Amino acid sequence: SSKQSEKQEGQITVGFSQIGAESGWRTANTQSIKSEAEKRGVDLRFSDAQGKQENQIRAIRTFIQQKVDVIAFSPVVETGWQPVLEEAKRAGIPVFLTDRAVDVTDDSLYVSFIGSDFIEEGRRAGEWLAKKMDGKAKIAELQGTTGSAPAIDRKKGFEAFIADYPEMTIIKSQSGDFTRAKGKEVFEAFLRSPEGSEINALYAHNDDMALGAIQAIEEAGKKPGTDIVIVSIDGVHDAFQAILDGKLNCTVECNPLIGPQVFDAVEKYLAGEELPKRIQIEEGVFDENIVTQEVLDKRQY
């Protein structure tokens, strides 16, 4: 209760439920939200769901009980939000989604979704690869965690794009769980398989798996980036370093630094402005041609 009494007049309280801290990308995402809240003097209630949707639902209920002004969260999965969002609506608390969308029948349950489009990311990766390989590639794919929204959508976007290129085929595809260790282990198995010698391109659903695969390629005596062209998604610091080193060819940015945009949206909404249902984040595609030491030094995550 002491916390409440310190609250200044007019200060807004925002409850934010984060998925967890499963990657460097996510940590940067959290950091961006927190520092932006501090900068703007917002009273931020932060809850870490440790990867469980149940925890997120509970956190949102707690926010409702604590009567916060605004709720924002990055959903663990897309489904299952209808009941709790209805509750928030009844309590009159506006909800903002970040990073991932939700599947609800009534889209008045949330104000706006601020984040990237995973399908678009997959499409861009495909587009870059098609250009780089002149529409001819035998591709190995490292998928994200089975059943997760980014894994499904990034696969969908990529496949949809290369469907137009008959000579681009995915000859190997496995889940690498979004981790470096799995990425490496799985790619070793790829290389050793009967089709292994044919692989000349790798599409990884995130940078970490690509970084693991790069090690596997090197250990197998091949040159990553040359013998096998590699494109991945996220754009974390280590990936940029790998591009500089010539080991990674391209990373499609998925920008975690959405704090400013989220709080802009919140403030606009509270000021009575109409907001679009979807606010796209600015994201780029970074390949060997763009990334220089300067670009790397400017990266915040």
CB of 124 to other proteins, least distance (A): 22
Report the residue number, 86 or 164, with the smaller CB distance to other proteins: 86
CB of 191 to other proteins, least distance (A): 10
CB of 212 to other proteins, least distance (A): 6
Report the residue number, 42 or 279, with the smaller CB distance to other proteins: 42
CB of 171 to other proteins, least distance (A): 10
How far out from the chain centre does Cα 164 lie? Answer: 26
CB of 219 to other proteins, least distance (A): 7
User: b/e map of 290-300 (b: 16 or more CB within 10 Å)?
Assistant: ebeeeeeeebe
CA dist., res. 203 & res. 210, Å (int): 8
Report the residue number, 86 or 107, with the smaller CB distance to other proteins: 86
DSSP collapsed to 3 states, the chain:
CHHHHHCCCCCCEEEEEECCCCCHHHHHHHHHHHHHHHHHCCEEEEEECCCCHHHHHHHHHHHHHCCCCEEEECCCCCCCCHHHHHHHHHCCCCEEEECCCCCCCCHHHCCEEEECCHHHHHHHHHHHHHHHCCCCEEEEEEECCCCCHHHHHHHHHHHHHHCCCCCEEEEEEEECCCCHHHHHHHHHHHHHCCCHHHCCEEEECCHHHHHHHHHHHHHCCCCECCCEEEEEEECCHHHHHHHHCCCCCEEEECCCCCHHHHHHHHHHHHCCCCCCCEEECCCCEEECCCCCHHHHHHCCC
Report the residue number, 59 or 125, with the smaller CB distance to other proteins: 59
Report the residue number, 13 or 249, with the smaller CB distance to other proteins: 13
Report the residue number, 3 or 298, with the smaller CB distance to other proteins: 3
CB of 56 to other proteins, least distance (A): 10
Report the residue number, 215 or 275, with the smaller CB distance to other proteins: 215
How far out from the chain centre does Cα 92 lie? Answer: 29
CB of 13 to other proteins, least distance (A): 9
Report the residue number, 197 or 226, with the smaller CB distance to other proteins: 197
CB of 139 to other proteins, least distance (A): 14
